[in-house]
Amino acid sequence: MKQNTKKKLNDVTPEEWDNVSRPAHYNSGDIECIDGIEAMLTRDEFIGYLRGNSMKYRWRFPYKNGTEDLKKAEWYEKRLLRILESNG
């Protein structure tokens, strides 16, 4: 059985935040924003949300945050792959 090693948000120090995988402005309290969104949406809706965010970051990367936006797109795509590869 795989053990969950993910830290709770309140246990993460500011040094562990980063703008791609753990932006401070989306982390408050006991649940991360993306997890709340996933809980609120159906599986298909969440898949659409992830696809849309990936496209948004790829679309704007030359004009706004450069490679950081490409890393954000990749983050959403990895999350999408985990959803698609799961049985749930």
pLDDT, tens only, 32-66:
889 999 999 999 999 999 999 999 999 999 999 89
> Residue 55 falls within a domain, yes or no?
yes
For tokens 């965010």, name the residue: 53
Q: Is residue 47 part of a domain?
A: yes
Report yes or no on 77 lying in a domain.
yes
| Residue 63: inside a domain | yes
Would 53 be classed as within a structural domain?
A: yes
Residue 52 confidence (pLDDT): 98
- Residue 68 counted as domain residue: yes
4 — pLDDT class (breaks 50, 70, 90)? very low
Question: Would you say residue 61 lies in a domain?
Answer: yes
DSSP track, 31-73: EEHHHHHHHHS-HHHHHHHHHHHHHHHHHHTTTTTTHHHHHHH
* Domain around 79: 30-85
Q: What is the mean pLDDT of the chain?
A: 81
Give the chain's domain count.
1
- Residue 37: what pLDDT? 95
Q: What is the reported pTM?
A: 0.69
What pLDDT is attached to residue 82? 95
